[in-house]
Structure 1
Amino acid sequence: MGRVIAIANQKGGVGKTTTSINLSAALGEAGKKVLVIDTDPQGNTTSGLGLDKNNIENTIYELLIGEITTDEAITKDVAKNVDIIPSNVDLAAVEIELIDADDKEFILRNAISNVKDSYDFIIIDCPPSLSMLTVNAMTTANTVLVPIQCEYYALEGLSQLIHTVNLVKDRLNPELEMEGVVFTMFDSRTNLSLQVVENVKDHIEENVYKTIIPRNIRLAEAPSYGMPINQYEPKSAGAEAYRLLAKEVIDRKFN
């Protein structure tokens, strides 16, 4: 059965989409079968994996409102061993569409239940808000992975996110666990980055991944070419970091 990881942080610009794209590609490169689900109306994970988000007929929006099947929603082989359920701006309307829906917190979970066993990992890129889409991701997920940017306000919002995870665990998905925290945009030349890492480690009890994602120009460039970093610049520091993170994720054991 596939392990479902929601990549969430209500702060924008922390490396959430970068991690969704490149962790998925690195897991695929390691021989794992991966499904990426883009639940962000901005659709950046979709375009970062080479799809034209403005010209896709079958997206997660059509899946959530019941217009298409899960198989119809999946675009195959966007990277080695990686499939995707894409997203675009249409998804912004879904909360209004589903306002009166029964069990609306479980629509995504129910939608992918028939394909879950076909994948080793399902990676869900969440929007940068604690919205119904994020709650759907968390009711679907086994674990939540939180990217944190190495900046002064890194801890701001983390306690709120952990509170949300605990609420979802208590009320909707008792199986949900924290996958852990991964540091992104780390600049070894600055004392600030080092201080942030130590500060976060001191303040949280959650698993902190040993792999730290560096601030890397190639990593920033890759999405504009519609490629994960392991395709765009396979020998870069960013590509190597995501391979190490993928190995840690694969090796991580849960009760």
Structure 2
Amino acid sequence: MQTIAAVSLAGGQGKTTTCYFLAKMLAQAGKKVLAIDCDPQANLTFFLNHEVAPDRPTLLEVLKGTVSTEDGIYPTNDENLFLVPADSGLAKVTEYLSGSGTGALILQIRLQAVKELFDYVIIDVQPTRSQICLTAVGAADWVLIPAESATKGVNSLLDTQKFLAEQAQVMAFRGQILGIIPFRDRWVGRTQTLESRDNIAAMREFADDAPVLPTIRESEKFKQATRQGQLLSELGAKDLEYPFEKIIELLEDCKQLNQSIVVAV
């Protein structure tokens, strides 16, 4: 099981968009996928068409350990795709995580119970330096950093890289950055705007050793797809799925490399 978290310390950077399409496309390819909504705004839960019932457990109860991890997992409308949902009540878990002594490891611990059931876990992470964010990062084998192709996105990238480096220093993040994803790359016809071009160039400059992945173009098709619970290819916009196809290829390459290393050892 590989765990991938989308992390950006600012809102509107494309985290939920990335998680939604990545999870659905992996599931469509036959992989068993668990999506985890680690944000009290619960946008991923909404996009995956799950309505949280008042008497049913969510990520809050899973993290606190009042239910088993499996009891917090629900099927979605997509074959092979399952969800641990969130709602605004998830914010209440902060006190529990901060007082547990091992808050950064709680989600990783909870996922051990289902590691044989899924090929991939995709985590949509709250865009703040919160205890919820810390435990999501602590569970991640890989981090994707979506960043808007604007000045705000570049600043978010820098803040996120600093945050991950700080967590790595105290062994709270033991994964790796899979890549940086420029979001809302703006084009007019066949010409990329100067703002997008300059900001993506800045991302490459500040990326350190992390690859800058193919950009997510600005398009109303993304909103249309998430509102309707569909993939872009179902709307006749398969070309817009290219960034997610490349992420999946990268994940598969990393998986095969890890398997080769284990065999060699």
Establish whether TM, by shorter chain, passes 0.5. yes
Relative distance call for 1:88 and 1:120 in structure 2 (3 A) is: same
More off after superposition, 111-120 vs 231-240: 231-240
* Residues 1:246 and 2:245 aligned together: no
Give aligned-pair identity as a percent.
23
Letter in 2 for 1:109: Q
- CA distance, structure 1, for counterparts of residue 234 and residue 72 of structure 2: 26
Q: 2:223 aligns with which of 220, 223, 231?
A: 220
- CA distance, structure 1, for counterparts of residue 112 and residue 179 of structure 2: 24
- CA distance, structure 2, for counterparts of residue 244 and residue 159 of structure 1: 23
* Residues 1:193 and 2:201 aligned together: no
- CA distance, structure 1, for counterparts of residue 201 and residue 75 of structure 2: 40
| Structure showing greater relative contact order (alpha-carbon pairs closer than 8 Å, 6 or more residues apart) | 1
Relative distance call for 1:235 and 1:206 in structure 2 (3 A) is: same
Q: Is 1:188–1:194's contact at 8 Å kept on the other side of the alignment?
A: no
What is aligned with 2:126? 127
Relative distance call for 1:202 and 1:38 in structure 2 (3 A) is: same
* Residues 1:86 and 2:85 aligned together: yes
Q: Which runs of 5+ in 1 are unaligned?
A: none
- CA distance, structure 2, for counterparts of residue 153 and residue 102 of structure 1: 34
**Deviation of 1:121 (Å):** 1.2
Q: Which runs of 5+ in 2 are unaligned?
A: none
Letter in 2 for 1:245: I
Q: In structure 1, the residue corresponding to 2:150 is in which secondary structure? A: coil
RMSD: 2.2
- CA distance, structure 2, for counterparts of residue 186 and residue 54 of structure 1: 37
- CA distance, structure 2, for counterparts of residue 16 and residue 218 of structure 1: 16
Q: In structure 1, the residue corresponding to 2:200 is in which secondary structure? A: helix
TM-score, reference length from structure 2: 0.87
1:24-39 equivalence runs, <5 A: 24-39=23-38
What is aligned with 1:109? 108
Structure number with the higher helix fraction is 2
- Figure out how many residues of one structure are paired with residues of the other and give that number: 253
TM-score, reference length from structure 1: 0.90
- CA distance, structure 2, for counterparts of residue 221 and residue 54 of structure 1: 26
More off after superposition, 14-23 vs 91-100: 91-100
